[in-house]
A and B are shown apart, each in its own frame.
Chain A
Amino acid sequence: MTALAKRYWHALINQKKLFVYTFLWSFFLWITSPFLIILLKSVGRNWFGKKWLPPELTLDWYKWALTIANIPQVLSNTLIIAAIAVTISTLLALPTGWALGRRKVPAKEVLTSIILLPRMIPPIAYALGIAQIFYRLHLVDTHLGVALAHVAICAPYAILVLSSTFEGLDERVLEAAAVCGASQLRTFFHVTLPLVLPGILSSIIFTFTTSYNEFTLTLMTYGPHTITLPVRTYLAVGEGYWEVTSALSIILIIPSLFVLFMVQRQVQPEKLVGGFKGV
């Protein structure tokens, strides 16, 4: 067994084509099959026993999801909460990101790390505190309350993206506009804004997805009126209807896929992880 593993490893090092592609494709299947199975489960009927594929196809589980799991209500909760969270996070992050990206801030690195701390500490730790504070303020089970809890984790993301966007803004371009006689207002609308808009957009999309997918913080602050899609999916797992849960998951996953393709095109993936840019 170890001899076999050793030979395989050496073949990999020597870049033997067959081994390379076996490795890469099994990696690919290992990552993606779970999603394929969910997709099949959500449209399959009578899929029991030793069968590789469901024998019949159906859209019943999606109908169930719509009626029993009350998807219209749940989805509108999720979207309202995400919209509030995105708005608040962006409003917080615009000035702060500008200061961090373009102004002289004492101990900038330390400050950035501190602001990013909520992304590094397990959310359950401060979710406990948030839940207790929100109980007192009667914010639990309100859209605003759940959204505010999401801001705790969305705002650091927005600040990170926006500060690096503003940092990348070339001073010379702005000066050139001024030299050419553009007023400050004109420079802002015709030069600055178009330059930073992609950054702001990607910040909005990231915070939106973060809020849309957020589970831990929602779990601590939700109530019967503010069930979101991730919480509903979790509850459905507990209820044991795997087919309906799969249908819910497919609805839940759509924004993430969109982000995945956007990330691959625009953002360097290593910027996504950690976020402590070399502190």
Chain B
Amino acid sequence: MSHFTNKRQNLITFLLLSPGLAGFFGLFFYPMLVTLFRSLRPEGQTSGWTLGNYAAFLSDPDFRRIIWLTFFLAITSTLLSILLSVPLALLLRRKPVGHRLFRLTILVPITVPGLIGALGLLLFWGSRGWFNLLLLQVFRFKAPLTINYTLTGLVIFYVWHYFSYTAITTLSTLEGLDPAFEEAARVAGATPWQVLRYVVIPLIMPGILSGSVLTFMAAFGAFSIPLITGGNYRPLSVAIYKQIGIFIPARWSAASAMAMIMAALQVVFLIFYMRILRRPMA
């Protein structure tokens, strides 16, 4: 009897799960398979098998530039996000005047559409934007700095868009930290710098790490930001889109091969991320 009800319960569970699973397989798994198969077809054909698309992309001189650029943007923006998030979290933890406003500010870049952020950033950092007006009129610079459509500009925009993940996890880990640890260090005669360096930072490291992997993954997969603000700099996702958007007829197989490489890399980062999360607190 209990065996029977058990089976029935399992069936009910499965039936309840099936709509979500159907959505997953129909709209994610199957499309990924289509992308995979397409990447193994000769360009413009629906039959035959080839690894030529991967070979063509891997031997393309552009390949190294694209991969280098994608990693460069993701890594530098992640590092800068950490540099921004740690002091920010340390300050907000003390609940200074207006800390609610600053907390809300952290959420802005991940809530608003990337497109709008990109547009606003282009206007703000442009040669006639407020940033350059500040340099010219307040700091007496002779000529405006060119930031839009440069590598520096892209890094600034990436940090603006993706630092939130690092800041949020760092702040929440920091707020979960027992102040007794710091007190103990302070009583033992440690300077504020020593408390920070040897007590606080090591203890919130898991939070910083998991947040920065999220920032890294978001920056690695960034699409709308580099599409609009990248100019001649085209990271992987934009390069994939351009295969379809620019070439006539669209190069679906080439795009699919690049997309598979990108997805595979992202899965590697994801595994890395889950390992960090699973690691016990130091």
Q: A31 and B160: CB pair below 8 A? A: yes
Q: A213 and B113: CB pair below 8 A? A: yes
A52-B24 CB under 8 A given contacts A132-B38, A216-B223: no
- Majority SS of interface residues in chain B? helix
A20-B108 CB under 8 A given contacts A96-B20, A124-B237, A219-B241: no
- Majority SS of interface residues in chain A? helix
A13 on the B face (CB < 8 A): yes
B196 on the A face (CB < 8 A): yes
A56 on the B face (CB < 8 A): no
Q: In this complex, what residue of A is CB-closest to B261?
A: A125
User: Chain B residues with Cβ under 8 A from A98's Cβ?
Assistant: 16
Q: A273 and B38: CB pair below 8 A? A: no
Q: A37 and B124: CB pair below 8 A? A: yes
Q: In this complex, what residue of A is CB-closest to B215?
A: A273
* Assembly CA distance A121 to B240 (angstroms): 14
Q: B16 and A95: CB pair below 8 A? A: yes
User: Chain A residues with Cβ under 8 A from B30's Cβ?
Assistant: 129, 133
* Assembly CA distance A30 to B33 (angstroms): 42
Chain B residues with a Cβ under 8 A of chain A: 9, 12-13, 15-24, 27-28, 30-35, 38, 84, 87-88, 90-92, 94, 96, 98, 100-117, 119-121, 123-124, 128-130, 133, 136-137, 160, 164-165, 168-169, 172, 192-193, 196, 210-211, 214, 217, 220-221, 223-224, 227-228, 237, 240-241, 244, 252, 255-256, 259-260, 262-263, 266-267, 270, 273-274, 277-278
Chain A residues with a Cβ under 8 A of chain B: 9-10, 12-15, 20-21, 23-24, 27-28, 30-35, 37-38, 41, 48-50, 52, 88-89, 91-93, 95-100, 103-105, 111, 113-115, 117-118, 120-130, 132-133, 148-149, 151-152, 155-156, 159, 209, 213, 215-216, 219-220, 230, 233-234, 237, 242, 245-246, 249, 252-253, 256-257, 259-261, 263-264, 268-270, 272-274, 276, 278-279
Extra contacts besides A252-B116, A273-B164 (6): CB < 8 Å:
A48-B128, A118-B24, A121-B266, A159-B20, A216-B223, A256-B112
